[in-house]
């Protein structure tokens, strides 16, 4: 077996996520082979890539020109050809356990053990489809946010059998592609991204079902309220900066009300003091309490800039 050519990536499945990953890797000057068993899909992928790249260029987010980036992406309908001489396979086939199991068995037999086999799976953990493979130590999940060429964070989720070297290589690849690799330490269904989305969406459906709010006003509250703020700071940093005294004061003041709301939905996950202190300690590494007022101002300035960008994009609503 010849050694893998440095930096060549195979993308297996050329749907929304496969096309988007191709754009991410190609704009970072990596060569990409895009595979799909559906010839019509592969043919449609080329023009789609052009559109995505042109939009990124218009937004000032492309380092080189569209033609140069697009030229780094080739399509291949044969899986064995697509994964020849690659260092990394990013699987983007449908979210179907049986399909991912069969596909990973094929990928394991088609590629040398030095090749990383990553799944873009949204919710299915790697242990569910790669446990029985001889090469399971080079398998893991790299779950992107959609669209990956704009949401520059992906979840790196190893199985217990994934080697540390595989995780290191995945992290390095993502960093080189301009994507922040968020580490998910334990395999839980839906990982972190979709658990967070799920928590909000479950509550949103309950509120509309119970006649508390219209679907449109709910979306508005997220878009112009919690979501606008979350576009510049996360929920923990929000609690830290919303309350004088930070997260610990927030937990004392708001914890009981949040516990009652959780109980209403059959959830019983209180916030014990040691947990709150652990979170506060971590969050305050970036937001020291002695600079609380300055950090509040930085938050406000960041929200202002997002609001200005949104109004110039015609999305202020």
Ligand X SMILES: NC(=O)c1ccc[n+]([C@@H]2O[C@H](COP(=O)([O-])OP(=O)(O)OC[C@H]3O[C@@H](n4cnc5c(N)ncnc54)[C@H](O)[C@@H]3O)[C@@H](O)[C@H]2O)c1
Residues near ligand X, by CB under 6 A: 12-18, 36-38, 41, 92-95, 99, 103, 120-122, 143-144, 146
- Which residue's CB is nearer to ligand X, number 11 or number 247? 11
Shortest Cβ 42–ligand X spacing (Å): 8
Shortest Cβ 145–ligand X spacing (Å): 7
Locate 36 and state its tokens. Answer: 């799909």
Shortest Cβ 46–ligand X spacing (Å): 13
- Which residue's CB is nearer to ligand X, number 45 or number 62? 45
In whole angstroms, what is the distance from residue 226 CA to residue 208 CA? Answer: 17
Q: Are 273 and 199 in contact (CB under 8 A)?
A: no
Nearest residue to ligand X, by Cβ distance, number only:
15
In whole angstroms, what is the distance from residue 239 CA to residue 49 CA? Answer: 40
In whole angstroms, what is the distance from residue 274 CA to residue 257 CA? Answer: 19
- Which residue's CB is nearer to ligand X, number 48 or number 219? 48
- Which residue's CB is nearer to ligand X, number 96 or number 165? 96
Q: H or E stretch including 282?
A: helix 273-286
Shortest Cβ 227–ligand X spacing (Å): 17
Where does 52-196 show beta strands of DSSP type E? 73-76, 88-91, 116-119, 139-144, 153-158, 180-183
211: left (phi > 0), else alpha (psi -120 to 50), else beta?
A: left
- Which residue's CB is nearer to ligand X, number 120 or number 295? 120
Shortest Cβ 315–ligand X spacing (Å): 20
Q: Are 117 and 91 in contact (CB under 8 A)?
A: yes
């Amino acid at each position: 077996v010849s050694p893998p050519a440095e930096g060549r990536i195979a993308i297996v499945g050329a749907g929304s996520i496969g096309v988007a990953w191709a754009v991410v890797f190609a704009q970072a000057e990596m060569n990409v082979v895009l595979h799909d068993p559906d010839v019509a899909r592969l043919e449609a992928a080329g023009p789609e890539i052009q559109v995505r790249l042109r939009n990124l260029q218009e937004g000032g987010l492309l380092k080189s020109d569209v033609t140069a980036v697009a030229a780094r992406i080739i399509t291949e309908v044969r899986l064995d050809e697509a994964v020849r001489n690659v260092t990394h396979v990013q699987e983007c086939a449908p979210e179907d356990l049986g399909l991912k199991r069969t596909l990973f068995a094929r990928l394991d037999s088609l590629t040398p053990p030095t090749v990383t086999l990553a799944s873009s799976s949204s919710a299915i953990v790697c242990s569910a489809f790669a446990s029985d493979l001889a090469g399971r130590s080079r398998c893991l999940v790299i779950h992107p946010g959609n669209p990956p060429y704009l949401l520059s964070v992906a979840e790196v989720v190893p199985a217990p059998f994934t080697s540390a070297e595989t995780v290191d290589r995945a992290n390095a690849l993502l960093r080189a592609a301009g994507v922040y690799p968020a580490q998910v330490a334990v395999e839980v269904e839906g990982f972190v991204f979709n658990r967070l989305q799920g928590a909000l969406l479950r509550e949103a459906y309950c509120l509309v079902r119970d006649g508390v709010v219209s679907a449109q006003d709910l979306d508005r509250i997220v878009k112009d309220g919690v979501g606008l703020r979350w576009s510049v700071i996360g929920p923990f940093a929000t609690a830290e900066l919303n309350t004088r005294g930070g997260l610990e004061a927030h937990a004392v003041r708001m914890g009981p009300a949040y516990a009652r709301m959780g109980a209403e939905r059959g959830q019983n996950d209180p916030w014990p003091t040691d947990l709150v202190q652990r979170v506060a300690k971590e969050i305050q590494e970036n937001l020291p309490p002695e600079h609380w007022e300055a950090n509040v101002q930085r938050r406000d300035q960041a929200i202002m800039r997002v609001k200005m960008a949104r109004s110039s994009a015609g999305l202020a609503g």
